[in-house]
């Protein structure tokens, strides 16, 4: 029988971690049961694993009793890592034994799946160097600062590369579970679990949920000034050449430094700033697509739609319909 190990972190977690652990165990167990009923072979033994016989969460509000100790579990096929607490360095320090065990399992051929900020554990182990990775959009700045060698893709709900799965923030771990079920069982089992637990299948992007606040956790003061200038000119068409000239930095060097500091090119950063302003306008006003487009410095509707969709994964109209219910209420 094959094996799936769901990690219970050693105290460095929160209630979101509990949701990931319990949700993974329940949904994978039901997938296993469905698979067996329809005659599937090679089912999985699914266990919660840790380094103690009891793991407490939220000051003892919830206690989980792992099925197995990692010190006695020599081999597994898949390791599932839940989200971690917001104090990532503390979380990593408190889970060194688990990180070492995960690394050994990966070297022995196991696949690894991290949920939300669980990606910090993988990155700390060096397993994500040079690879694509997703995590919660709110952790983007911190992650880029701590792990510059990882290719962060926060627009993606799920990434997969070299036997490592990562996923976006919060409860999008449910989408990762459906994805894993299709990989480890089959499409029919994934559809069944999707319907049973009412989880959207084949969701690819978390961009529509993100809130862009600008990546300023760096030490390049001139690039920070460029960011502030871009953010002050939302309603204007911005010339990147003009900005680099204002700072007396050659364009190629300016682009290189900007990408190193923020993870985005200057053009991408300007687009994200403008789209974030447009999103807020769609959420909080009755303005038309054209009105918002002009407010954020675009005059070409096709170009605006393309940039908006690239960043959010949705059209401007679809975004406004989803997040602003007042537009359906008749004016008095």
Degrees, nearest 5: CA angle 281-237-290: 40
How confident is the prediction for the chain on average, in pLDDT?
87
Per-residue pLDDT averaged across 97-113, rounded? 93
- Between CA 292 and CA 324 the distance in angstroms is 14
Is the pLDDT assigned to residue 95 strictly greater than 90? no
**Which runs of E-coded beta strand occur in the chain?**
2-7, 44-50, 55-57, 62-64, 68-69, 78-81, 111-114, 132-133, 151-152, 158-161, 164-167
Is the pLDDT assigned to residue 72 strictly greater than 70? yes
Structural domains of the chain sorted by starting position, each given as residue range(s) with its CATH number in brackets? 2-209 (3.40.50.880), 221-328 (1.10.10.60)
Is the pLDDT assigned to residue 86 strictly greater than 50? yes
Entry field: residues in the chain: 332
- Between CA 39 and CA 292 the distance in angstroms is 55
Strand partners, 164: 112, 161
Nearest to 83 by CA among 39, 138, 33, 126: 138
pLDDT in the model for residue 41: 77
Is the pLDDT assigned to residue 159 strictly greater than 80? yes
In tens, the pLDDT along 270-282 reads 999 999 899 999 9
pTM of this prediction exceeds 0.75:
no
Residue 258: pLDDT band by 50, 70, 90 thresholds?
very high
More confident residue, 311 or 92: 311
pLDDT in the model for residue 287: 92
Backbone angles phi, psi at 258, to 5 degrees: -65, -45
Per-residue pLDDT averaged across 163-182, rounded? 91
Query: What secondary structure does DSSP assign to 264-297, as a single string?
Result: S-HHHHHHHHHHHHHHHHHHH----HHHHHHHTT
Within 8 A by CB and 6+ apart from 107, the residues are none
Is the pLDDT assigned to residue 255 strictly greater than 90? yes
What percent of the chain is modeled with pLDDT above 90? 57
- Between CA 172 and CA 132 the distance in angstroms is 17
pLDDT in the model for residue 16: 86
pLDDT in the model for residue 331: 41
Backbone angles phi, psi at 252, to 5 degrees: -65, -45
User: 68 is written with which tokens?
Assistant: 């197995």
Per-residue pLDDT averaged across 217-224, rounded? 88
pLDDT in the model for residue 89: 64
- Between CA 152 and CA 130 the distance in angstroms is 10
Strand partners, 165: 113, 160
**Torsion on CA atoms 324, 325, 327, 330, rounded to nearest 10:** -160
User: 106 is written with which tokens?
Assistant: 């990966």
In tens, the pLDDT along 181-218 reads 999 999 999 999 999 999 988 777 666 666 677 778 78
Residue 329: pLDDT band by 50, 70, 90 thresholds?
very low
In tens, the pLDDT along 41-56 reads 778 999 999 988 888 7
Is the pLDDT assigned to residue 88 strictly greater than 90? no
């Amino acid at each position: 029988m094959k094996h799936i190990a769901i990690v219970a972190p050693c105290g460095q977690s929160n209630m979101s971690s509990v949701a990931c652990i319990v949700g993974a165990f329940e949904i994978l167990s039901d997938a296993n049961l469905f698979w067996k009923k329809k005659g599937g072979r090679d089912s999985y033994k699914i266990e919660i694993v840790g380094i103690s016989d009891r793991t407490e969460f939220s000051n003892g509000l919830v206690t989980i009793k792992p099925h197995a100790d990692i010190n006695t579990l020599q081999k597994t096929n898949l390791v599932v890592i839940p989200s971690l607490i917001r104090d990532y360095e503390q979380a990593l320090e408190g889970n060194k034994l688990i990180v070492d065990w995960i690394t050994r399992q990966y070297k022995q051929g196991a696949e690894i799946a991290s949920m939300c900020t669980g990606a910090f554990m993988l990155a700390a182990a060096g397993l994500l160097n040079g690879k694509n990775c997703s995590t919660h959009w709110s952790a983007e700045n911190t992650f880029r600062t701590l792990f510059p060698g990882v290719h962060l893709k926060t627009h993606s709900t799920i990434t997969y590369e070299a036997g490592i799965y990562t996923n976006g923030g919060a409860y999008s771990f449910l989408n990762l579970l459906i994805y894993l079920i299709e990989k480890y069982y089959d499409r029919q089992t994934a559809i069944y679990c999707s319907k049973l637990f009412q989880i959207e299948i084949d969701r690819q992007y978390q961009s529509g949920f993100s809130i862009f606040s600008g990546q300023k956790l760096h030490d390049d003061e001139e690039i920070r000034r460029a960011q502030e200038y871009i953010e002050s000119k939302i309603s204007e068409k911005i010339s990147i050449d003009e900005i680099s000239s204002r700072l007396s930095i050659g364009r190629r060097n300016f682009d290189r430094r900007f990408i190193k500091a923020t993870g985005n090119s200057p053009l991408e950063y300007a687009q994200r700033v403008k789209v974030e302003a447009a999103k807020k306008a769609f959420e909080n006003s009755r303005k038309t697509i054209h009105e918002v487009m002009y407010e954020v410095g675009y005059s070409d509707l096709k170009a605006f739609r393309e940039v908006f969709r690239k960043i959010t994964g949705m059209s401007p109209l679809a975004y406004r319909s989803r997040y602003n219910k007042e537009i359906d209420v008749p004016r008095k």
